[in-house]
Amino acid sequence: MDPKDVFCRVKSRLSGKQVVAAFAHISWGQFLLAQGPRGIEHLGVRITTFLRRLLGMEQVRVLGAEFEEDRLVIDVAPSWTKGRCSTCGATGPIRDQRVRRWRHLDVGGVECELRYSIRRVECSSCGVKVEQVPWAEHDTGFTKGFEDLIALMAQKTDKTTVARLLRIAWLTVGRVIERVVKRYGGDPSERLRGLRRIGIDELSYRKHHRYVTVVVDLDTRRVVWVAEGKDAAALDGFF
Ligand SMILES: [Zn+2]
C-alpha cells in the first residue's frame, strides 16, 4: 500500500463515537497536570495503579511518571521479567538495553509518552533481536493504542486532518494504516473471544480502486479483523 494513495471516507457513525471515546480521559489529564511539574512519584503506589488503569493495557506495569515541560512521560515495563524475542517470542539472554519512548494517546490534551529501557535478546533461532513489549510492535515509535486511533480517524477524515489533529507527519499516517492492517489481518480467533457487538467499516485507498473492510469490537473499541475488499464478499472470511 503506497501511503500517498491512502485516503479514507466517511461511512458510518460508529467509529466516530469510538474516536470520541479515545479522547474521553480529559478529567484524568487535568488531575495529573494539577500535580505540578516536579513529577508525581511522591503520590505513591496508588498513582501507579491509577496510571495503569488509565493506560488500560494488559501485561504492563507502571513504574512512575513525570512531566517534561508539557508532556507526560510514564515509565512502564512488561509484566514479565525475562526478555522475549520480538520475532518469535522465545526467551533468551540479555545483550544490552537502551531507553526508548513511544507516543501514546493524549491525556486531556497533554501529549503522553511511554518510556522503557528496552533490551536486546540473544534468540537461539533469530539472532540478536529487540525484545517484545506488550504496548507496541518492535518497529514503531507509537503504541498500539495510538496507532489504532490513527487508523480509526483515517476512516473518518483525510490524512492531512489526521496528521494535524494528532501532530504527526503526513507520511506517517499511511505507514501506520499499513501496520494496523497487517496487525489485525492474521488469525482473528484470539481477538474474537468475548465479542458481543461489532461495527463494520470500509476504507478505500489507491484512489477508491481498492478497499479494506474493518470490523471493530464496540465494547473494547478495538479493531478485531481486517481484510482486503468490500461488501459481503470481504466479510465472508470474518463470518
Ligand atoms: Zn526469536
- pLDDT surpassing 90 at residue 125: yes
Query: Within a domain: residue 191?
Result: no
**Is the model more confident about 30 or about 129?**
129
For residue 128, the CA-to-ligand 1 centroid distance in Å is 8
Query: Within a domain: residue 213?
Result: no
Query: Within a domain: residue 26?
Result: yes
For residue 137, the CA-to-ligand 1 centroid distance in Å is 14
Query: Within a domain: residue 211?
Result: no
Angstrom distance (rounded) from CA 32 to CA 72: 9
What are the DSSP calls for 115-165, one per residue?
Answer: EEEEEEEEETTTEEEEBPBTTB-TT-SB-HHHHHHHHHHHTTS-HHHHHHH
Angstrom distance (rounded) from CA 184 to CA 223: 7
For residue 125, the CA-to-ligand 1 centroid distance in Å is 5
Angstrom distance (rounded) from CA 186 to CA 179: 12
For residue 64, the CA-to-ligand 1 centroid distance in Å is 30
Indicate the DSSP class of residue 9.
-
- pLDDT surpassing 90 at residue 25: no
Angstrom distance (rounded) from CA 182 to CA 232: 21
Please return the burial class of 198, using the count of CB atoms within 10 Å of its CB with bins 0-12, 13-18 and 19+: middle
Q: Report the chain's terminal Cα–Cα distance, integer Å.
A: 25
**Is the model more confident about 148 or about 127?**
127
154 band by pLDDT with thresholds 50, 70 and 90? confident
For residue 83, give Cα distances in angstroms to 58, 80, 152, 172, 183. Answer: 17, 8, 32, 29, 22
Q: For position 55, what pLDDT does the model report?
A: 80
Phi, psi of 102, deg, nearest 5: -130, 130
Please state the domain count of the chain: 1
Query: Within a domain: residue 128?
Result: yes
Q: Say which range, 34-38, 111-115, 172-176, 209-213, has the weakest mean pLDDT.
A: 34-38
For residue 116, the CA-to-ligand 1 centroid distance in Å is 21
Query: Within a domain: residue 150?
Result: yes
Domain that holds residue 67: 12-184
Angstrom distance (rounded) from CA 104 to CA 197: 26
7-40 b/e with 16+ CB inside 10 Å = b?
bbeebeebbbebbeebeebeebbeebbebeeeeb
Query: Within a domain: residue 209?
Result: no
Q: For position 185, what pLDDT does the model report?
A: 67
For residue 91, the CA-to-ligand 1 centroid distance in Å is 8
| Residue 188, C-alpha cell as written in the block | 482473528
96 band by pLDDT with thresholds 50, 70 and 90? very high
Query: Within a domain: residue 45?
Result: yes
Q: What is the mean pLDDT of residues 32-52?
A: 58
For residue 60, the CA-to-ligand 1 centroid distance in Å is 21
For residue 48, the CA-to-ligand 1 centroid distance in Å is 31
When the pLDDT of each residue in the chain is averaged and rounded to a whole number, the result is 75
- Say how far residue 104 (Cα) sits from the centre of its chain: 7
For residue 184, the CA-to-ligand 1 centroid distance in Å is 21
Q: For position 14, what pLDDT does the model report?
A: 31
Q: Which of 19-28, 47-56, 182-191 has the highest mean pLDDT?
A: 47-56
